[in-house]
Amino acid sequence: MPEPSARARRRQGGDRPESSTVTAFVGSVLAGRRFGGGRASRGGFWVGGGGGVEHWSLTRSGGVTAANNAPVFQCLGGLELFFGARWSGFAEYRFATARHAFNFGTARDEWRNNLSFVTGGVALHF
- Per-residue pLDDT for 75 more than 90? yes
Phi, psi angle pair for 37, to nearest 5°: -120, 80
pLDDT at 33: 84
Confidence at 116, pLDDT banded by 50, 70, 90: very high
Amino acid at 3: E
- Per-residue pLDDT for 76 more than 70? yes
Mean pLDDT lowest among 12-21, 58-67, 75-84, 115-124: 12-21
pLDDT at 93: 95
How many whole angstroms separate alpha carbon 100 and alpha carbon 68? 6
Contacts of residue 121, Cβ cutoff 8 Å, sequence gap at least 6: 89, 90
pLDDT at 14: 46
The Cα-based distances of 5 to 8, 17, 59, 106 in angstroms read: 5, 15, 29, 27
- Per-residue pLDDT for 99 more than 80? yes
pLDDT at 17: 45
Instruction: Please calculate the CA angle 117-119-123 and round it to the nearest 5 degrees.
Output: 160
Predicted TM-score (pTM) of the model is: 0.66
Confidence at 44, pLDDT banded by 50, 70, 90: confident
